[in-house]
């Protein structure tokens, strides 16, 4: 059976990574968290303490080695041999990742790595531009989204469970701002591919979305039998 390239795009906080990991695990596909790759670049930049400079950050991105090592239920992320799985999810990284991802040379460096990872098929990637830029010929494309209110609530529950002191209203504003930045950037803006399935998960459970996408991929796999 042919192993496919599956692209899941959508805005911040839509649950792309959670769903993508579950679907990939159940189908035996490799999961490539492209958002984690851009977060890794932002983390690497922040470690330097330097002022924001596109050329400097691009230089970091071009030399970085990013690796994913699935272990149990965790997709561990390494940058130049250093594990950053937790570090790249910090609020500081979150606040800077959109600006970093908007740098053209950074995107070129990451897209080149992503294409190498996925060229053999049997991969599931999620991000902002997988179906439009990275793999425009992906076998399955899904645009996964949810309302700003629902996405903020999900993030709020996640952070509170970790013991962080956050305000729901602040998270809503941050997500709305992130949507605006991602949609309006000049390079590879967030948008739905014309041939992508639009899926609003606001009223769906994780299990429902996972089952739906698994069936979608399996139906496509059967076409190639």
* Residue with the two structure tokens 């999961």: 31
Using CA atoms, how far apart are residues 171 and 177, in angstroms rounded to an integer? 10
pLDDT value at position 225?
A: 60
Q: What CA–CA distances, in Å, run from 45 to 50, 64, 84, 133?
A: 7, 11, 13, 24
Label residue 92 exposed, middle or buried (CB < 10 Å: 0-12, 13-18, 19+): exposed
Give the model's confidence band at 69: pLDDT under 50 very low, under 70 low, under 90 confident, else very high. Answer: confident
Do 75 and 68 form a contact (C-beta atoms < 8 A)? yes
Give the model's confidence band at 154: pLDDT under 50 very low, under 70 low, under 90 confident, else very high. Answer: very high
Residue 1 has pLDDT above 70, yes or no: no
pLDDT in tens, 85-140: 999 999 899 999 989 998 999 999 999 999 988 888 889 999 888 999 999 999 99
pLDDT value at position 66?
A: 92
Q: Is the Cα dihedral 48, 54, 55, 59 positive or negative?
A: positive
Residue 72: CB atoms within 10 A of its CB come to: 6
- Residue 96's SS3 state is helix
Give the CA radius of gyration of the chain: 17
pLDDT value at position 171?
A: 95
pLDDT in tens, 139-150: 999 999 999 999
Mean pLDDT score of the chain, rounded to an integer?
92
CA dihedral defined by 106, 9, 39, 202, rounded to 10 degrees?
150
pLDDT value at position 118?
A: 87
pLDDT in tens, 10-30: 998 899 989 999 999 898 898
What's the farthest any 2 CA atoms get from each other in the chain?
53
């Amino acid at each position: 059976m042919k192993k496919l390239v599956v692209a899941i795009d959508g805005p911040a906080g839509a649950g792309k990574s959670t769903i993508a990991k579950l679907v990939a695990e159940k189908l035996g596909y490799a999961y490539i968290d492209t958002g984690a790759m851009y977060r890794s670049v932002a983390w690497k930049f922040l470690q330097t303490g330097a002022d924001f400079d596109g050329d400097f950050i691009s230089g970091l991105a071009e030399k970085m080695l990013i690796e994913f090592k699935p272990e149990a239920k965790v997709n561990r992320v390494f940058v130049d041999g250093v594990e950053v799985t937790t570090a790249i999810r910090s609020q500081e990284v979150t606040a800077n990742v959109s600006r970093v991802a908007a740098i053209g040379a950074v995107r070129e460096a990451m897209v080149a790595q992503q294409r190498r990872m996925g060229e053999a098929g049997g991969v599931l990637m999620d991000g902002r531009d997988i179906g439009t830029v990275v793999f425009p010929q992906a076998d399955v494309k899904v645009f996964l989204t949810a309302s700003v209110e629902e996405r903020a609530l999900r993030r709020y529950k996640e952070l509170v469970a970790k013991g962080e002191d956050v305000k729901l209203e602040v998270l809503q504003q941050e997500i709305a701002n992130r949507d605006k930045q991602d949609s309006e950037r000049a390079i590879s803006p967030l948008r739905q591919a014309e041939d992508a399935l639009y899926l609003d998960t606001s009223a769906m459970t994780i299990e429902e979305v996972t089952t739906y996408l698994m069936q979608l991929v399996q139906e496509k796999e059967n076409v190639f039998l």
